[in-house]
Structure 1
Amino acid sequence: MINALSGFLLLAVIVLIGWALRRWAALPDNAEAVLGRLAYTALAPCLLFTGTLGADLRLLVSGPLLVSTLAAVACFTIFALIFLRRDRRTRVLGALAGGYTNANYIGIPVATYVLGDASLVVPIVFLQLLIITPLALTLLESTTASLLKPARNPLVVAVALGAFLNILGVRVPAALLDPILTVGNAAVPVVLIAFGMSLSGRRVLAPGPDRLPTVVAVTLKLLVMPAVAFLLAVALGLSRDAAYTVTILATLPTAQNVYLYAQRSGGDLVLIRDAIFLSTVGCLPVMLSITGIFSWTR
């Protein structure tokens, strides 16, 4: 667990850089928006394309992944039902805050150092890239007049193209793939810097209409989702180790990608910003508690 802190530390340092840049670097007022647009239209699509292109799509069929999927869907549904009277963007983004995990930046070090196998988080990454992300973006884009907008969304196109070439077994030449991979590697740092900028001069859980949805989303992410995952693992007869794995992975914080989706769609940035921050800070003690309970009941 101590080694897993390196993943949290890396996140914190990059976010702090973004916060410091906004506070002291005298950047233009639209710097955060420009970074978000750059990440959305170029960096993140390259990252998603290369990730999907090299994925083993057979990993999408497994018992633990079924548990992770159902736990996420349960949290999505609970948030949407609680805030049924809110606008669609708030329901979609809040639902994502309650169930869309940071499977890459936090998930990989947790899977490596806590669970002992980095590949355990890979199916969740594929699930989110191939299924949840396109569906969520489609729902967000469909709030506008044109139903064709989701098909033109660069993130959806990147995932669809990567999956299509993957299924066909097409080998993309290194001369083309390497630049795409290099650009994609910049996506996460840029998103984190933009997120850090958003924290400057703002108070977490400030009074207002976003406070209750934020508390509900963070509660779903850190408490409800792991509890549902554990109960489903027991109900489906998964082994003790598998139950521990899906429970820990369900505790991963809200992914910073959700902030990018909110920024691009014109959704509730305060809700998503606060949910990401609070779930990232709070997930470690929850993971330690789960580990202690499993160890004590062994």
Structure 2
Amino acid sequence: MTGVLAGFVTIGSVIGLGALIAHLRLIDEQGQVLLSRVAFFVANPALMITVLGGTPVTQLFSANLVASISSVVTVSVIYVLAARLVFRRTPSEVVIGTFSAAYVNAGNLGLPIAAYVLGDVSLIAPMLLTQLLVLQPAGLAVLDLTSRAASGTAAESARARVLRLVTQPFRNPLMISSLLGLVISVTGFRLPRLVADPLHLVGGMAVPMMLIAYGVSLRLGPRPGRGEPPVQVGLAVGLKLVVQPLIAWAVGALLLDLSRPALLAVTVVAALPTAQNVFTFAVRYRHGTLLARDAIFFSTVLSVPVLVIIAALLG
């Protein structure tokens, strides 16, 4: 359990730094947006290339990938149906809510937990791949399209709309970088040091920038729990911490017959809290910011006992 606690202490410390910076008025809301934009367009893409490119292809396409995809898709469908049919949220808000319910913190929290609790950093790769190549491109395509429509773009022909819809994910920096990292992993290509070193250096900014921006939001925005209706935040958090790990466990145990260590890995990874990336996406597209922030806050706090219980039962 030391690895779980160490991961949360590290994250909490950097978020607290962001809140302190905002409290001292060293950075304001515009600075928070700037941090999020740099993370989205520059640091995160560099991080994706280095993480995916450095993961063995056999680990990427293991049986764990099936369990990861199943948990993400099931939770996403449940949230989309509830958000559209019950809460009547807009498409952009539904995307951010779906991310809040299904997009796990596989980077800055998942990596240390995989290292210290599971004993193998590469065990996080299947979920990372699922998010980067399935959940993220689909969601960002919707956000891009709805943002474009809201900006009053001139009418397009049916052919132009279809072409834009198909090519939209491949014009997103995170999607492009994820594909590059996947190609590097599949081909076994080694980046020259003159390229790899700057990528590692820039990618190293991604996690602290996202966490600091999030801490700024906690200090400058409404207190967690006072921004969005509690029932909607509760739905996202409940799906994230209860339903998603249960689906991953059920698929892994009942359908894939995974070994006990592999089953522990997919369940722990699925139970990780909502990723800070979701807040970055919300700020970037200016939709669902408070929902993303509250879901991240409550899922992070409540995931500690959840992860401890899972480790005790399956470890």
Q: Residue 177 of structure 1 corresponds to which residue in structure 2?
A: 196
| In structure 1, distance between residues paired with 2:65 and 2:186 | 20
Per-residue deviation, 1:98: 0.9
Match among 244, 257, 281 for residue 261 of structure 1: 281
- Would you tell me which structure has more helix in proportion to its own residues? 2
Quote the residue 2:56 is aligned against.
56
In the TM superposition, residue 167 of structure 1 has moved relative to its aligned partner by: 4.3
Q: Distance in 2 between matches of 1:274 and 1:205?
A: 6
1:127 is aligned to 130
The 5 A counterparts of 1:1-298 are: 1-84=1-84, 85-143=88-146, 144-145=148-149, 147=164, 149-201=168-220, 202-206=222-226, 208=228, 210-236=229-255, 237-294=257-314
Query: What TM-score do you get using the length of structure 2 for normalisation?
Result: 0.86
1:57-93 per-position Cα deviation (integer Å, ceiling 9, x unaligned): 3333222221121011111111001011311111111
Contact 1:55 1:126 in 2 (8 A): no
- Tell me if the contact between 1:112 and 1:118 (Cα under 8 Å) persists in the aligned partners: yes
Residues 239 and 90 from structure 1, CA distance in 2 versus in 1: closer, same or farther, beyond 3 angstroms?
same
CA RMSD of aligned residues (A): 2.1
Q: What's the CA shift for 1:227?
A: 1.5
The one-letter code sitting in structure 2 at the alignment partner of 1:190 is M
Structure 2: tracts of 5 or more residues without a match:
150-160
Cα gap change, 1:248 to 1:53, in 2 (>3 Å): closer
Could you tell me how far 1:165 is from its partner in structure 2? 4.7
**In 1, Cα distance between the equivalents of 2:4 and 2:106?**
13
Pick which of 37-46 and 73-82 moved more: 37-46
Structure 1 distance, partners of 2:224, 2:131, is: 27
Gaps of 5+ in 1: none
CA contact (8 A) 1:142 1:150 kept: no
Deviation readout 1:210-252 (Å, 9 max, x if unpaired): 4322110000011111112222222212233333332222111
> One-letter code of the match for 1:270?
L
TM-score for both structures, normalised by structure 1: 0.90
